[in-house]
Amino acid sequence: MSAHKAMDYRAAGVDLERAELDKQGLAALLQSTKDSLTLSDLGLFGGLYAIPRDVADPVLVSSADGVGTKLKVAFLAGEHGTIGQDLVNHCVNDILVQGARPLFFLDYLATTSVEDGVLQRVVSGVAKACKENGCALLGGETAQMPGFYREGEYDLAGFVVGIVSRSEILDRAQVQAGDLLIGLPSSGLHTNGYSLARRILFEVAGLGIGDLIPGMEESVGAALLQIHRSYLHVLAPMVNDGSLLALAHITGGGLPGNLPRSLPDGLGAEIRTRSWEVPPLFRVLQRTGSIDDAEMYRVFNMGVGMVAIVNPREADVVLARLVDSGEPAWLLGEVVEGAGVRFD
């Protein structure tokens, strides 16, 4: 009987020593986001966070998400510092729609193996966005999964927990026909529609990651990696003082797929498509891919990243407050009887 060579975990593709070094390297990033309510350090089995005492009748709000195939663009560009910001901001926007502010965030990164420094760059983006949104990066998980992903690639997901007073939860039940819709601009594709966008730009148009997009002074990589913006700071004051009836975060499914989620049964929305200038990137994608209008609005945000629903009596004041704060918001449409979203 032949002797077998002794095996260990590293031979199976998992380097525990490197994992420990990576974990030590992330400790400072987590530490930089700690606040007075953070009760734990990196290395415990679970993160500890105290519930704030300044919120009456507190309700916790949670959300989990990823960044989809935008990761493929990050791999091609070799740019890993912004994808974590996309993740945090997307999750923060999702709970903002319920009226919540974020308390803490956790991330999950799984890979076969990546170059030294990539993990730190990804998590540094997560930490940066956590600080910008006022939440603690409480912990996370980095999983080595040999043979599961392509070499040099990874998957990334995030989990946010926020808080809101029960009386201040944004409830779509308050919305009525005749209420007005205010649009807030996106910063590009955000984190949706990338499978179609990549096919159009890389396969149909034959462009490379560093090539300029026709008619634009921006490379493919720069345009597609625009950071998914957070709306927390611009909208939180109006959430807190009751100026808004509801919010809709325009992600996968576009306006038709997301706006109805913030409307009561029996109500729909009429969108005035001439009320804003669709950004050039979306026009390039539509023209190059020969995509009809309905599909464009179903797949992409078309330059609208968040929609605020307000009482008509409050609309002028809310718009003025947004514009005064530097937010180029506009009157997007109105709530109407019937289901679905109509475009005029």
146 in a domain, yes or no?
yes
- Indicate if 124 and 143 belong to the same structural domain: yes
Determine the Cα–Cα distance for residues 35 and 134; give it in Å rounded to an integer. 9
Same domain membership, residue 192 and residue 114: no
* Same structural domain, 281 and 210: yes
107 and 230 in a single domain? The answer is: no
Q: Are 218 and 155 in the same domain?
A: no
> Is residue 9 in some structural domain?
no
Distance CA 242, CA 169 (A): 10
Q: According to the model, what pLDDT value does residue 202 have?
A: 98
Is position 90 within any domain? Answer: yes
| 176: CATH | 3.90.650.10
Domain limit, last residue, from 168, 190, 211: 168
52, 103 contact by CB (below 8 A): yes
Write the pLDDT tens digit of every residue in 30-55.
Answer: 889 999 999 988 778 899 999 999 99
Model confidence pLDDT, tens digit, residues 116-137: 889 999 999 999 999 999 999 9
From 146, 168, 190, the end of a domain falls on 168
Four-point Cα dihedral 249, 252, 257, 262, nearest 10: -20
User: 44-94 pLDDT, tens per residue?
Assistant: 889 999 999 999 999 999 999 999 999 999 999 999 999 999 999 999 999
Residue 267 maps to a domain: yes
With a threshold of 0.85, does the pTM exceed it? yes
User: Are 339 and 197 contained in the same domain?
Assistant: yes
73 domain-assigned: yes
Note whether 245 and 336 are same-domain residues: yes
Give residue 28's pLDDT band: very low, low, confident or very high (50, 70, 90): confident
Q: What percent of the chain has pLDDT over 70?
A: 93
Q: What is the pLDDT of residues 152-166, one digit of tens each?
A: 899 999 999 999 999
Residue-wise pLDDT for 170-198, tens only, equals 989 999 999 999 999 999 999 999 999 99
The residue among 195, 196, 175 whose CA lies nearest residue 307 is: 175
Spell out the SS3 assignment of 225-283. CCCCCCCHHHHHHHHHCCCCCEEEECCCCHHHHHHHHHCCCCEEEEECHHHCCCCHHHH
Domain that holds residue 307: 172-343
User: Do residues 188 and 160 both lie within one domain?
Assistant: no
Among residues 81, 105, 100, the alpha carbon closest in space to that of 32 is found at: 105
pLDDT top residue among 291 and 41: 291
Check whether residue 267 and residue 311 sit in a common domain: yes
The CATH number for 42's domain is 3.30.1330.10
The terminus-to-terminus CA distance of the chain in angstroms comes to 79
Residue 5 counted as domain residue: no
Last residue of a domain, one of 113, 139, 168: 168
Same domain, 328 and 186: yes
Question: Residue 59: inside a domain, yes or no?
Answer: yes
305-319 per-position pLDDT tens digit? 999 999 999 999 999
Q: Let me know whether 60 and 109 are in one domain.
A: yes
Number of domains in the chain: 2
Tell whether 303 is covered by a domain: yes
Same domain assignment for residues 259 and 331: yes
